[in-house]
Amino acid sequence: MYIELRSRLQKGVYGVGDKLPSEKELMKQFDVSRITSKKALDMLVQEGYIVRQPGRGSFVIHAGDPPGESYSASTKAPEPQEQTGVQRRLASKQIVIGLIMEDFSDSYGKEMLAEMERTAQRLNVYLLMRMSFSQPDIEENAIRSLREYGVDGLIIYPTRGQSFNPEILRLVIDRFPHILVDRYFKGTESASISTDNVEAARKGTNHLLDLGHQHIGLLASKVMDNVAIEERIEGFVRAHAERGVILDRSYWLTDMTWNGETEAEEQERVRVNVDTIQQMVEHQPQMTAIFAMQYELALFAKEALEHAGVKIPEQISLICFDSPQASAALYPFTHLQQDQHSLGRLAVENVLKLIAGETLPGRISLTADLIHGLSTAPAPALSGAAQVKRATGTD
């Protein structure tokens, strides 16, 4: 199935921007299981042929000859480098690092994971990965089982939530070498590496304010589930306060979710999100910009604006976090780009330092870059008539 789909892409049967059949359709077409159809699509993502968007499907971003070597950089042999002090101290033993990932996607996590593997290969250590799928109980079991297996240290991309699980507390008490990635827990001694989300959101908000936007909508998943989202909202609020711009929380949607147990459930949640955003846009005619705290929410907002007949960026500007490079072939959002390569590299390097007995600062924060795309522009001057049109949908 994978070989046939790849052949069709190489022969141009599907062109850039085309939507591939869904997992369910591929199951029927090739008479395979859903796991097989999902794996085939995942392999095409890894090779750079397609991008998968939650609830929307798989879209072609490359057709014809195989994509360039940039998609297989992780398979290249690392260049020899001079050993560091940590490497020399660890040279007498084969180090195994346990890695627990909540999840990863094209928009965030995949590049970080690839960089962890590249760094592990360069430093001659092994990664042993488990996935928690956002389930705290699976994360707890993974920590216990990896310690029982005998790993020398742990890298943990924690499940969403502001409270840590008991096994992470046990790691602190036992002084077991471990690093938290992307998130941190207040009041613990766990070392962590994450983006400075407050400053990143402040930077993105200031970009919109500099363009003259005074009425900015905000989209986010449930704040209580994610400390990174909490910090991004803090940066959004801080930028408004520093510029003396009044916040209007009627422009906020902060309890959005899109993951489901089945494909049908996921599609339904996406539809609800799109409808909810569209209703907010139609009932808030003064709003001229939207800041989506996650890339997936930017996709929903784009669809909602298109359904409402609102032009991006002429009528409403749109900015988000982590627009994947591959998706730029479909639509290049203005976005805050987290440094996933540094996150992955530093996670491996710093857990090795802890294994070697060195001490680390409690929290390492990295800067996110503002990448200009096609989704932001100066704020339009909405006339009274235009506001009525936006509010009612009439000509």
Six-digit token pair at 231? 């910090």
Q: How many CA atoms lie within 13 A of 96 on its CB side?
A: 9
In single-letter form, the type of residue at position 287 comes to M
Q: Is the pTM of this model over 0.85?
A: no
- Region at 317 (left for phi over 0; alpha for psi -120 to 50; beta for the rest): beta
Across the range 216-233, mean pLDDT stands at: 84
Omega within 30 of 0 (cis) for the link into 313? yes
The predicted structure's pLDDT at residue 213: 97
CB neighbour class for 16 (10 Å; exposed up to 12, middle 13-18, buried from 19): middle
Q: What tokens appear for 344 in the block?
A: 């992955």
Which helix or strand (DSSP H or E) is residue 334 part of? strand 334-337
Q: Report the C-alpha gap between 222 and 254 in whole angstroms.
A: 6
Tokens matching residue 204: 């993105």
Length of the chain: 395
Give the model's pLDDT for residue 236. 98
CA distance 120 to 349: 8
Q: Which residue in this structure is represented by tokens 């983006």?
A: 195
Band of pLDDT at residue 105, cut at 50, 70 and 90: low
Q: What is the pLDDT of residue 38?
A: 78
- Separation between Cα atoms, residue 167 and residue 33, nearest integer Å: 36
In tens, the pLDDT along 309-328 reads 999 999 999 999 988 776 66
Domains of the chain: 2-67 (1.10.10.10), 85-194+339-366 (3.40.50.2300), 197-338+372-392 (3.40.50.2300)
For residues 192 and 168, what is the distance between their CA atoms, to the nearest angstrom? 12
Contacts of 107 (CB under 8 A, 6+ apart): 294, 295, 296, 322, 323, 324, 327
pLDDT at 210 (0 to 100): 97
The string of pLDDT tens digits covering residues 134-172 is 788 889 999 999 999 999 999 998 876 545 678 888 898
Q: What is the distance between the alpha carbons of residues 245 and 247, in angstroms, rounded to a whole number? A: 6
Coil/strand/helix, residue 284: coil
Beta bridge partners of 181: 193
> Of 21-30, 238-247, 329-338, which one has max mean pLDDT?
238-247
Residue 97 pLDDT exceeds 90: yes
Across 268-285, average pLDDT:
93
Contacts of 140 (CB under 8 A, 6+ apart): 165, 166, 167
The per-residue pLDDT for range 358-369, each reduced to its tens digit, is 988 778 999 999
Q: What phi and psi values does residue 105 have, to the nearest 5 degrees?
A: -150, 180
3-state secondary structure labels for all residues of 209-247: HHCCCCCEEEEEECHHHCHHHHHHHHHHHHHHHHHCCCC
